Amino acid sequence: MNRLLLATSNKGKITEYIQILNGLPYEFVNLKELGIKGNVKEDYSTYKENALHKATEYARLSGLMTLADDSGLEVDALDGAPGVLSARYAGENATDADRVNLLLSNLKDVPLEKRTAKFVCVIALTLPEGKSELYYGECSGLITFEPSGENGFGYDPVFYIPEFKKTVAELPPEIKNRVSHRGKAAVSVYKALKELAGMK
């Protein structure tokens, strides 16, 4: 069975990818399992560049087909921030709670109707020989005034989807994986991997 490297140290992302890509004839491995230490820096200004850089570097280091993504939250009232800096919004060693608290603090005087936002995800799938493909996903919603929900990670507890009248952190995994930015991009990855495996 072919191995596919999920090139992230984020346990939440690894869990989601395994759920979404379930049923494919691949053995999913992560950086820790391969003994790959240290992070490839995400110092580019776009999701696409960061995702490509990570996937290419980790494919080179592992010799495996590699999936890497870059994603972020773009809030209209903050001129698109935190954007590509979403994971580092409150500093390098900040927790999810630190980032959420800073976001809510920066939006404290903004009324609900102006708290529109979107999650964006770009996934890069790179073959060992270096060929890469990109896959995109977006999810629109509103930023709540306080966190709600125990599922998910990152900004999920404050990202409200009007269609479901719930935050992403209140959605069960099967619905989140269908409607989220990462889920939408990963569905296209699923189709590509299925084709690569020769499945009908």
For the chain, the domains span: 2-196
* Rounded-to-integer distance, Cα 143 and Cα 114, Å: 9
137: pLDDT strictly greater than 70: yes
Res 92: pLDDT: 85
* Rounded-to-integer distance, Cα 68 and Cα 163, Å: 29
Token readout for 145 is 């005034």
Instruction: Say how many C-beta atoms besides its own lie within 10 A of residue 130's C-beta.
Output: 10
Which residues are catalytic, by number? 70
DSSP-assigned beta bridge partners for residue 2:
26
- Taking the whole predicted model, whether its pTM rises above 0.85 is answered as yes
* Rounded-to-integer distance, Cα 44 and Cα 177, Å: 27
200: pLDDT strictly greater than 70: no
* Local confidence band at 34 (pLDDT 50, 70, 90 cut-offs): very high
Name the CATH topology of 2-196.
Answer: Maf protein (3.90.950)
